[in-house]
Structure 1
Amino acid sequence: MSEEVVGRAGFHAKHTKAVSERSAILHEAMRELDQQSIAYWAARNPNIVVADEPLNMAMVNDSSGGFARCTDRRQVLDYGESRVGLLSRKLREDAPDKNGKMTGGTVTTSLLVSHLPKSMCEEIEDFYPVLDSTTGEPVVDRNTGEPMRRSRWIAADRDEAVKYFEAVVDYLAENVIPGGRDAVLGYDIQFSESTPHIQIVADTFAADPRKPGRLRVDTSRAWFSHRDVRDEQGKVKSGPAKMREYHEGLKQHLIERGYDISPDFDEERHLAGMGKEEFGRSMDAERVAVAEREYVETKLAAKISVAEKDSKAAWEYKQAAKAELAAAEKERAAATAELEEAVEIKRRAKADGHREGYENGRLEAQVQLAEMTRLAEGERAEAARQADAARVARRALEETEERLEAELARVVEEPPDFKRFLDTPRKDGKTMRDVYNRAMAPVWASRASRAALLDEVRQEAKHSGAYDLEL
């Protein structure tokens, strides 16, 4: 369960041009109005819990400043068409520009989506499987071998949730949607998916100040850049700047009404052009990336631990070989000194002319020479054996390091399918690469730290003669 649940408020806005697209929007948003729509969307959206579809609430503008329960999507479409008939100018259709791109059409419709803060929800852990965005199959956590799962959040109090969403509609109608409450064609409060949310369908029309009783398209004034809308410095205000102001105003509006929400702003979601389904997929991708990070980190730690142990063992073995060689050299030096002493005895005996002494000295020298020669040969053979053993240990260590480096390269390599998913552009032109890079940043930092540690062990071994010991 989440250690700390933070209530966040905001909304996502998506705009379309053709009035005819409203039918498709409402087919999903108000699917609970007929069983065929429920079945159609449940087969395409794994977040939908069919048993909870009756809890959803479809509302339509009652033409009197309020909203009434909607029983047929046609009611919303008819109300919207009545407002199209009040436009003072005809709607423009898209036309190809010099590059063949269709552009220039009038933006007529806005879909605004806002979720219930998690501080007003109850969590049902491990409710949904995490699905692969390419295959649709459950993703298996390589750390546990079990399918990954995620939570579902349901309203702790549905009546309070409805009041919250009504407060959101009030703010957006009074401060954001250009035509006010009249421009809100309808909305649907949904309790049947992974998080309770509201989908608001509005047009982009407002009163035409030059023609009383008529409407004009105010899309740019409300949502994008327009020469008539400027900031305090007199500069044309951008669309993202307007969205920040709208979100700040919404949060203040809700806080003043006693809702426990955080004042921060989630730019990653609300300014990146991601709708509820795309954002959900990005969260699943981030969960997979985090799990992969933990797996790679665990494997890396195990491999480095083995390498450190092997390196330490090789270093200790070679240090022992070096000590034994030094002892052998010392004994050989002592034998050489004794041999030289015997030669000196022989020389003195010969110089004194004492045959017996000379003969004894000669015999003693020969005996000692033979013994010292035997000892020296033994020490030389032992030194050669130690040198061979050290070379074998060094080669074994080098082979271990080569296997480790190859294994690490394989572990951290991105699978082709996952790489394609990360680099596939979203609707806003961006990719999931940024989300993945943020999730994997701790892995790369840990990996660099451990690589540095392994290099330090190697350098210490080299400095101590573990790698370059000449026997």
Structure 2
Amino acid sequence: MNGTTGRAGGNIRHLQHKGTKGTGNTREDRASLLHESMRELDDEAVQTHARLNPNIVPADSHLNVAMVNNGDGTFRRPKSIEEVLDYGDSRIDNVYRKWKPNSFETTLVVVHLPKTMCDEVPNYYPLLDKVTGQPVIDEETGEPKLRSRWVAKNRSDAIAYFDEVLAYYGSDVLTGGIDAIHGYDINFDESTPHIQIMADTLAPDPKHDGNLRVDASRMWDVHRDVTVDKFDATTGQPVIDEKTGEVVQVLEQRRAKMSRYQRGLREHMVAKGYPVEHDFDPERHLSGLGKDEYTEVMDSRRVVETQTAALKLQESDLDSRQTGLEDYQARLDEYRDKVVAGDQRLRDSIDIVEDEKARVAKRSTHLDEREQDVAQMELKTGAASQQISVELELVRQVRSALKHQREALEEREATIAEREGIIEDVTTFLDAMKSPAGETLRQRFDRFLEERRQQRLNKNEAAQAYVRAKARHWAEPEPRSDGPQLGG
């Protein structure tokens, strides 16, 4: 444990209201997540997820703590995940305005217990290859490489720590307060103790007493009401408005907002006396990762510790990626000003994503059928068992590739949702901004369009009058040619 550092950070992800199946209901998605996180409520679920996740230790699942919101600022132990789902449905159904399918509805937060509050159990798990899933063999000893498991030094202290995590997110992050948390589970049966929180993006509707509104952009994205001081890029000093003498305010970007939340959690835990670092170290900060990513990074770190040269290359790559991300953020900010003109392209992209999802689903069904056929062949044909094993491995690899493809599609959908949110903000901006005469930008834009339309009508009428005049001219009779001629 010498040199162990305490970290405090949360991994955040969201579900859209339309759900992963596009049905406009996330209950099935939420049920799947709760079935894993609150597995101790069902012995069969413990065994199922232990088979899927080798980090789960079924013998310790009874130590987990599942809780559901009472609706009065307190929590209770649920008998099943249905209680958590019903509480969430009651809030989702209480939104006054019509839901937008791509709106963020459900927020998932994962926070790990700092290592300073854990004991290390060395050589507990085999280190698995990320590609093959097989144990990594030490070239010198010929034995499988092993990694540590971290268990809470004191279970009561760990629960108290996670209570403070809930208090922080309920007071400083979620605008819906503690009521926005549907439920949570403290998992003590994996490689590191952690809490999984299921919440929503809803808050009280100030215009409709007793109802809720979607407040996702205020919490997680760019919102016109959430501003921060503007700083000079050269001097690092606040930019002062020469007319008012006040610090210039700018919209807080999503990346800065997430950094503020992570910083706030660390400061909250330090203030409560917990052994966590106050400063953020991006190269060693693992507590903010999700469960699967956390385990993967820990495995990678075990290998990298013995490969100094590889570590230097990885650090250089991280620096390059950080620079690339900063450049991308700058380009994204610039693109937001032009996104209204790309509305049709976004709609086309949505169609492409849906078509691709359908193709992936069809391919997945085909793989399911193929896997069943292979399993039946294995039972009937003992002599072909080796070939069947090869087929099953191929199916597993293809499934893994499909999983990554689905994740890429979900990321693309999230990007589209962000851009649609920007379009909504632009529309709101046009309706909100007014001239000194009280006229909104929307009214001015509509008047401009009406004037252009009237100009086109006037031109059309003038053209038609000209055509009619020409028609009359050609319709007049020509002088007769059979009458008396002069000089005849």
Name the TM tier (shorter chain).
0.5 to 0.7
- 1:35/1:282 CA distance change after superposition, 3 Å: same
- 1:295/1:214 CA distance change after superposition, 3 Å: closer
Q: Which amino acid aligns with 1:6?
A: T
User: What is the DSSP-based 3-state SS (H/G/I as helix, E as strand, rest coil) of the residue aligned with 1:225?
Assistant: coil
CA distance in 2, matches of 1:182, 1:88: 17
Superposition map of 1:79-98 within 5 A: 79-93=87-101
Write the deviation string for residues 243-270 of structure 1: whole angstroms up to 9, x where unpaired: 1111222122111211111112254688
How far did 1:8 drift?
1.1
Contact 1:177–1:204 (8 Å) recurs in 2:
yes
The answer for the alignment partner of 1:144 in structure 2 is 141
Residue 118 in structure 1 maps to residue 115 in structure 2: yes
User: What is the DSSP-based 3-state SS (H/G/I as helix, E as strand, rest coil) of the residue aligned with 2:302?
Assistant: helix
The answer for the alignment partner of 1:265 in structure 2 is 280
The answer for the alignment partner of 1:281 in structure 2 is 296
- Match among 3, 18, 31 for residue 23 of structure 1: 31
Residue 70 in structure 1 maps to residue 78 in structure 2: yes
- Match among 111, 129, 132 for residue 132 of structure 1: 129
How far did 1:82 drift?
0.5
Write the deviation string for residues 145-180 of structure 1: whole angstroms up to 9, x where unpaired: 321111111010001111110011001100011211
How far did 1:71 drift?
1.4
- 1:288/1:82 CA distance change after superposition, 3 Å: same
The answer for the alignment partner of 1:236 in structure 2 is 251
User: What is the DSSP-based 3-state SS (H/G/I as helix, E as strand, rest coil) of the residue aligned with 2:52?
Assistant: coil
Contact 2:304–2:310 (8 Å) recurs in 1:
no
The answer for the alignment partner of 1:317 in structure 2 is none
Stretches of structure 2 that go unaligned for 5 or more consecutive residues are 20-25, 231-248, 313-396, 410-488
Q: Which amino acid aligns with 1:241?
A: A
Write the deviation string for residues 41-68 of structure 1: whole angstroms up to 9, x where unpaired: 1011111000000000100001111101
User: What is the DSSP-based 3-state SS (H/G/I as helix, E as strand, rest coil) of the residue aligned with 2:60?
Assistant: helix
CA distance in 1, matches of 2:8, 2:275: 10
- 1:112/1:243 CA distance change after superposition, 3 Å: same
CA distance in 1, matches of 2:184, 2:129: 31
Write the deviation string for residues 268-304 of structure 1: whole angstroms up to 9, x where unpaired: 688999521023213323433444558999xxxxxxx
The answer for the alignment partner of 2:181 in structure 1 is 184
CA distance in 1, matches of 2:308, 2:203: 50
- Match among 193, 198, 203 for residue 195 of structure 2: 198
Contact 2:63–2:189 (8 Å) recurs in 1:
yes
The answer for the alignment partner of 1:168 in structure 2 is 165
Superposition map of 1:333-352 within 5 A: none
Superposition map of 1:381-460 within 5 A: none
- Match among 246, 249, 252 for residue 261 of structure 2: 246
- 1:53/1:271 CA distance change after superposition, 3 Å: closer
Stretches of structure 1 that go unaligned for 5 or more consecutive residues are 94-104, 298-416, 430-471
How far did 1:23 drift?
0.9
- 1:268/1:243 CA distance change after superposition, 3 Å: farther
User: What is the DSSP-based 3-state SS (H/G/I as helix, E as strand, rest coil) of the residue aligned with 2:12?
Assistant: strand
- 1:145/1:290 CA distance change after superposition, 3 Å: farther
- 1:115/1:236 CA distance change after superposition, 3 Å: same
Which of 1 and 2 has greater Rg?
1
User: What is the DSSP-based 3-state SS (H/G/I as helix, E as strand, rest coil) of the residue aligned with 2:96?
Assistant: coil
- Match among 69, 83, 93 for residue 61 of structure 1: 69
Contact 2:8–2:287 (8 Å) recurs in 1:
no
How far did 1:3 drift?
2.8
How far did 1:210 drift?
1.6
Counting aligned pairs with the same residue, the percent is 46
Q: Which amino acid aligns with 1:277?
A: D
TM-score (normalised: structure 2): 0.56
- 1:427/1:266 CA distance change after superposition, 3 Å: farther
- 1:45/1:205 CA distance change after superposition, 3 Å: same
Contact 2:96–2:211 (8 Å) recurs in 1:
yes
* More displaced 10-residue stretch of structure 1: 282-291 or 11-20: 282-291
The answer for the alignment partner of 2:10 in structure 1 is 11
The answer for the alignment partner of 2:56 in structure 1 is 48
Contact 2:61–2:189 (8 Å) recurs in 1:
yes
User: What is the DSSP-based 3-state SS (H/G/I as helix, E as strand, rest coil) of the residue aligned with 1:108?
Assistant: strand
- 1:70/1:296 CA distance change after superposition, 3 Å: closer
What RMSD, in angstroms, separates the aligned Cα atoms of the two structures? 2.9
Write the deviation string for residues 446-466 of structure 1: whole angstroms up to 9, x where unpaired: xxxxxxxxxxxxxxxxxxxxx
CA distance in 2, matches of 1:218, 1:272: 26
The answer for the alignment partner of 1:33 in structure 2 is 41
User: What is the DSSP-based 3-state SS (H/G/I as helix, E as strand, rest coil) of the residue aligned with 2:250?
Assistant: coil
- 1:88/1:266 CA distance change after superposition, 3 Å: farther
CA distance in 2, matches of 1:3, 1:256: 24
CA distance in 1, matches of 2:311, 2:217: 47
* More displaced 10-residue stretch of structure 1: 240-249 or 138-147: 138-147
- 1:283/1:121 CA distance change after superposition, 3 Å: closer
Contact 1:128–1:151 (8 Å) recurs in 2:
yes
